[in-house]
Amino acid sequence: MGLLAPWFLAGAALLGLPVYIHLLQQYRQTPVRFSSLMFFEKRTQSSIKHRRLKYILLFTLRCLFIALLILAFARPYIRSTVVAKATGARTIVFAIDNSFSMRQGDRFAHAKQSALEEIGKMGPADRGQIVTFGGPARLITDMTPDKPTLQAAVTAMEPGDDLSSYAEISRVFRSTAESLKTDIEAQVFTDAQASSLPAAFSDLKVADGTKLVVHPFSDQPIPNWTVETVDAPSRVFDTKKVRTLATVVGFNTPEATKKVSLVAKDKVVESKEVKIPANGRATVEFLTLDVPYGLTKCEIRIEGGDTFPNDDHWFFSVERADPKPALLIHGDNDNNSGLYLRTAMESATDAAFTLDSRTPSTATNLDPAKFAFTILSDPGPLPQKLEEALTKYVEGGGSILISLGRNAPRGRSVAVAGIPVLDLHTIAAENESVQTAAQLDTSYPAIGSGGTAKGWDGVEIFQFAKLQVPDSPEYRVAARLANGLPLLVDKKVGEGHVIVFASAFDNVANNLPIQPVWLPFVEQTTHFMGGVGAGRGTYKVGSFVDLRSTKEKNIPVEVIGPGDKRLLSLSESSKATTFQFPGEGFYSIRRANGREELAAVNADRRESDFATVTRETLDLWKNTGIAPTKASGAAGGTSNTRDDNTELWWWVLALLAALAVAESILGNRHLSAGSKEAA
């Protein structure tokens, strides 16, 4: 017998409580008033009588109650011996690796054949279960002694495109042994890929008493070239200004020259030769992508192939569209900001927008909803009708960028944004230093995208508006001045955003428009506001995609997979909020808002590295299940037993309940008796 939480025994100090109640609290004397004690002799009266315990049985019950309460918290248990298996019967888990790398050569066929042979060796009393672990582990069958059922499940298996994990299958072995309360035999059929090992070896541990048998089908790495990743825009507006960058990597390969092609709609657009160093990487750049309007299936392909052609490509999708119109509203006397903004937008790598420049008076009757976004470049007071239209536009999901120069509303709030402007401050060169952007939130898209945050070092601010930004979740300060005042603030208004820049874009209030960071800042900000690049076009196998927002409940969404197969049932299309991509290929997603997207899904390229686990590591993995067992000979087999712990705390609680009832009854009797004596 033992205790699982022995530190609770420190509560034994509470046993002094009954002693205090029964011994120290029983002596009570009623004071008697007396005129004078001067003629009385001083003497000491014995108190032995008062130190005697009364109500011994009640005292014992109370002490026992506290002792049992402490014991219950200490969680006592008794160790017993449990028979794990007898008469030679085995409980076997057949774990088959059906990950992407098992598509190489005849690996998967070999794994299936070996599994079928092991199933054929099962005895009449044995039972088995089929599990796959290419991606999240899946139980293919229940635990059954029926060999034909197990063999049929293995025969019907197909390799997948996901990543294998030895930590995942070890977790399955542990949970199976725990749920069945028995030792198991784990048969693993895999290509022993090193990339499947977890970072921590402790994650490989199986339950004590588990017999782990690994059937590796490869002990030597094979050379393999693959397209590791592709950096390409998800939307194209000018096909002559598209940059597609592909990375080709070789695993256990010699130096080689490979032909890499850019393919769109199964037609080769351009091909280039690239020299790949031994066990190294090389990049290939394509500067054009002539695709038709709409969604196009594209890929980067290594021509010629190798021993594993399944990863000699990388899928990606492109949507071609015309540049969207954007609205610029500037002050009547401001010509500089429009010039700098238009030049920056036209010089962008992906010229996604055309700029319509207006003054407040000429923009009054425009509908902002027709524009991808709006820029208010220090416009001064806005006509009420225009301000109301812009507010409605933002609340409906639009985006506005506002710069503040000499027309900033001092002592009032910025239009639409509602951020108070305390004052407009101009730097006096002889009295104070020029302000800089000192605190940048690099996680904000307009600041940190493309690693351009360092480019702000050379920006000098000569004039800025002092903004009073409340400390509220709807406000996000993306940049501050050296003096701590906000420089770039993003406020959530309804479903949209208002971005406020506390200076102007005219090369007078600051030198931002002539700094190298100006072009990426404008490109990133406008793309962020216009939604360009917001949607992902490329995913990995096993990843998830959001299908609908909380406002789009019960509106059907369709997912069409490779081979034009509908992948959602009628019920799922109306209720599912996410979808997990099961394999490589292109998936068409028709959303609730009517928009169609084309998702390109690729296998994890860690599966392309065929380096194998060392024999020593496999042996260590097997040894994690070794535990002392008691074996005794038996006719026709062995009888294995193991120790198990049975907790007793709820039996103690039952005794506590009985003691509580007895103490209550006995205490009431003594209380009644005391009342009669007092009377």
How far is it, in rounded angstroms, from Cα 103 to Cα 18?
75
Q: Is residue 640 part of a domain?
A: no
How far is it, in rounded angstroms, from Cα 341 to Cα 355?
9
From 505, 530, 555, give the residue that closes a domain: 530
Q: Is residue 622 part of a domain?
A: yes
From 289, 321, 353, give the residue that closes a domain: 321
Please check whether residues 617 and 658 belong to one and the same domain.
no
Please check whether residues 428 and 450 belong to one and the same domain.
yes
Q: Is residue 145 part of a domain?
A: yes
Q: Report whether pLDDT(661) > 90.
A: no
Please check whether residues 478 and 339 belong to one and the same domain.
yes
Please check whether residues 215 and 228 belong to one and the same domain.
no
At 197, the pLDDT band (50, 70, 90 cuts) reads very high
Predicted confidence (pLDDT) per residue in 487-503, tens digit: 999 999 988 999 999 99
* pTM of this structure: 0.67
Q: Is residue 654 part of a domain?
A: yes
How far is it, in rounded angstroms, from Cα 486 to Cα 106?
63
Please check whether residues 511 and 375 belong to one and the same domain.
yes
Please check whether residues 595 and 615 belong to one and the same domain.
no
Q: What is the overall mean pLDDT for the chain?
A: 85
The whole-angstrom distance between residue 160's C-alpha and the CA centroid of its chain comes to 23
Q: In terms of DSSP bridges, do strands 76-85 and 2-3 run parallel, antiparallel, or are they unpaired?
A: antiparallel
Q: Are 452 and 515 in contact (CB under 8 A)?
A: no
Helix, strand, coil percentages, rounded to 5, for the chain: 30, 30, 40
Q: Is residue 36 part of a domain?
A: no
Where residue 124 sits, what CATH number does that domain have? 3.40.50.410
Two structure tokens written together for 303: 């021509």
Predicted confidence (pLDDT) per residue in 588-627, tens digit: 999 876 778 999 999 999 999 999 999 999 999 999 987 6
Q: Are 351 and 237 in contact (CB under 8 A)?
A: yes
Beta bridge partners of 561: 565
Predicted confidence (pLDDT) per residue in 464-481, tens digit: 999 999 988 899 999 999
Q: Is residue 195 part of a domain?
A: yes
Q: Report whether pLDDT(554) > 70.
A: yes
- Least confident among 152-156, 281-285, 642-646: 642-646
List the end-to-end C-alpha distance of the chain, in Å, as a whole number: 52
The count of domains in the chain is: 5
Please check whether residues 430 and 557 belong to one and the same domain.
no
Torsion angle, CA of 602/605/609/610, rounded to 10 degrees?
-30
Please check whether residues 264 and 194 belong to one and the same domain.
no
Q: Report whether pLDDT(633) > 70.
A: no
- Least confident among 5-19, 245-259, 525-539, 595-609: 5-19
Domain range spanning residue 276? 224-321
Please check whether residues 392 and 483 belong to one and the same domain.
yes
- Least confident among 49-58, 132-141, 417-426: 49-58
Q: Are 203 and 309 in contact (CB under 8 A)?
A: no
Instruction: Of 174-183, 641-650, 662-671, give the range with the top mean pLDDT.
Output: 174-183
> Residue 288's pLDDT is what?
86
Average pLDDT for 130-140 = 95
Please check whether residues 330 and 314 belong to one and the same domain.
no
Where residue 251 sits, what CATH number does that domain have? 2.60.40.10
Predicted confidence (pLDDT) per residue in 408-447, tens digit: 999 999 999 999 999 999 987 677 889 998 889 888 888 8
Where residue 400 sits, what CATH number does that domain have? 3.40.50.880
Q: Is residue 459 part of a domain?
A: yes
Please check whether residues 329 and 256 belong to one and the same domain.
no
Give the percent of the chain with pLDDT over 70: 83
What angle do helix axes 649-678 and 56-73 make, rounded to 10 degrees?
A: 150
Q: Are 255 and 277 in contact (CB under 8 A)?
A: yes
Predicted confidence (pLDDT) per residue in 269-320, tens digit: 999 999 999 999 999 999 988 899 999 999 999 998 788 999 999 999 999 9
Predicted confidence (pLDDT) per residue in 56-114, tens digit: 777 787 778 778 777 777 777 776 655 544 457 899 999 999 999 999 999 999 999 99
- Listed in sequence order, the residues at least 6 apart from 604 whose beta carbon sits closer than 8 Å to its beta carbon are 100, 162, 163, 540, 541, 542
From 321, 345, 377, give the residue that closes a domain: 321
Q: Is residue 294 part of a domain?
A: yes
Please check whether residues 238 and 316 belong to one and the same domain.
yes
**Nearest alpha-carbon partner for 210 in 622, 625, 619:** 625
In three-state form (DSSP H/G/I as H, E/B as E, the rest C), the secondary structure along 601-653 is EECCHHHHCCCECCHHHHHHHHHCCCCCCEEEEECCEEEEEEEEEEECHHHHH
